[in-house]
Structure 1
Amino acid sequence: MRYELVIFDNDGVLVDSEPISNTVLAGYLTELGHPTSYEDSLRDYMGGAMHRIHDTIFERTGKRLPDDFDETFHGRVFAAFERDLTAVAGVTDVLGKLAAAGVPYCVASSGSHERIRVGHRKTGLDLWFPAGTVFSAQDVGRGKPAPDLFLHAAARMGVAPERCVVVEDSPLGVEAALAAGMDVYGFTAMTGAGQLDGARGHFGDMARLPELLL
């Protein structure tokens, strides 16, 4: 099957941000009186939009996070990005091969547009994702695991969902892609294949992705 659109998740797939952001998140939640380990953060929040953090803490404790939680968290994450963020190894080669084959691609991320921009600018990926190819959970009402974001990206790119394939590294993202009626391949660099159930295939090295997609 030749796909007409490849939709990339951002965090953990394009930029190696999950270790950074989940370390920051675990530390900040713990600081606020909600003890959270790095492993807890990966399990509960990886791949989700910001509202998932607020919803989960409220459901568990009955307490609301501070009004400035998002602003403070993003400030800490962006500072860490400027120091440490890199692109996922081999991903620019994948993008180059898709471009050479004439296969359109875009990014659909649970992160905010600002978070995507900061990460792409730091890693040079902004050169690969021009205006009109970057979509955020901010653009829709509900983030992953709802299918809304992937359906929005497909609609904006003018491709039917069944002709799209998603590249994801989180259980929430795989669930969202399947709910959107799209094929999905699971990137297992940080997440075991068993946690990405339902994916059409799995890969742990970006060098393998072009053969799966093309």
Structure 2
Amino acid sequence: MPLITTDQTDLIIFDCDGVLVDSEPLSNAVMAEHITRLGWAMKGHESIRLFKGKTMAQVHCAIEDRLGKPIDKKWTSAFHLDQEQRMRRDLTVVAGVNDLIARVQAAGLHSCVASQGSHEKMAISLGLTGLWDQFEGRIFSARDVANPKPAPDLFLHAAIQMNVSPTRCIVIEDSPTGIAGALAAKMRVIGYDPDESGVLAQGGIEIVSRMDAITIV
């Protein structure tokens, strides 16, 4: 059971998709549908396995490499539109997140969001789930830095903006890509794996399947 101590920690950095909001199944179901229409047959769970934790630019490159042709901008726009509609209909907060945020605040710790997603996407997902007000002004996107995860740039940028040393940060992540970036930033990482899939087992990090398994003292 991961233990966060206030004498060793100043900042909790949350990933967004899959950590704060339960968007991965929704987004990847839509992604799989749109990729299938391009000619690459795919299911939602396959999209999660291939693309979880990746930027849209990285996803585009993977699709273009597989199909040997560029993706039309109309395809990207159609995907984003369908993704937004699915989120507006079905998006929920990850179980236990509201309680964890409350406990972080009660302990006097700072918190922020560092996501591969765009600011526009996070404004929708965090807004729909009532989390925007919890993090407004402390939301950082991979588009803010030169290199997305798994580079450490985004996490280091978040620490700088929050005026906290990386050694005093804890990152909560749900993808191997994000975990690699946090470890590269020399930050402590807690992996969130609600399905207990084992895919996050790297670098000896602590892994939880429930947010209430994280203790703050």
> C-alpha deviations, 1:114-141, integer Å up to 9, x for none?
111101111111121122x100111113
> C-alpha deviations, 1:141-170, integer Å up to 9, x for none?
322111111111111111111211110011
Coordinate RMSD, CA, aligned? 1.5
Deviates more, 1:44-53 or 1:61-70: 61-70
Q: What amino acid does structure 1 have at the position aligned with 2:89?
A: R
Give the gaps of 5 or more residues in structure 1.
none
Q: TM-score, with normalisation over the residues of structure 1?
A: 0.93
In structure 2, the residue matched to 1:40 is 46
In structure 1, the residue matched to 2:189 is 184
> C-alpha deviations, 1:24-83, integer Å up to 9, x for none?
001101111222222221111101111111111233332111123332221111111110
- Distance in 2 of aligned mates of 1:149 and 1:55: 21
* C-alpha spacing 1:194/1:120, structure 2 compared with 1 (3 Å): closer
Q: How does 1:123-134 map to 2 (within 5 A)?
A: 123-131=129-137, 133-134=138-139
Conserved in 1, the CA contact under 8 Å of 2:51 and 2:59?
yes
Q: What amino acid does structure 2 have at the position aligned with 1:187?
A: Y
Shift of 1:84: 0.3
Deviates more, 1:9-18 or 1:145-154: 145-154
Give the gaps of 5 or more residues in structure 2.
none
Shift of 1:194: 4.1
- Distance in 1 of aligned mates of 2:38 and 2:176: 27
Deviates more, 1:60-69 or 1:102-111: 60-69
The 4+ residue runs of structure 1 with deviation greater than 6 A are: none
- Distance in 2 of aligned mates of 1:173 and 1:206: 18
Asked if residue 31 in structure 1 is aligned to residue 37 in structure 2, the reply is yes
Secondary structure at the aligned position of 1:174 is classed as helix
Q: What amino acid does structure 1 have at the position aligned with 2:22?
A: D
- Distance in 2 of aligned mates of 1:32 and 1:47: 22
- Distance in 1 of aligned mates of 2:189 and 2:65: 30
In structure 1, the residue matched to 2:146 is 141
Q: TM-score, with normalisation over the residues of structure 2?
A: 0.92
Identity of aligned residues (%): 43
In structure 1, the residue matched to 2:23 is 17
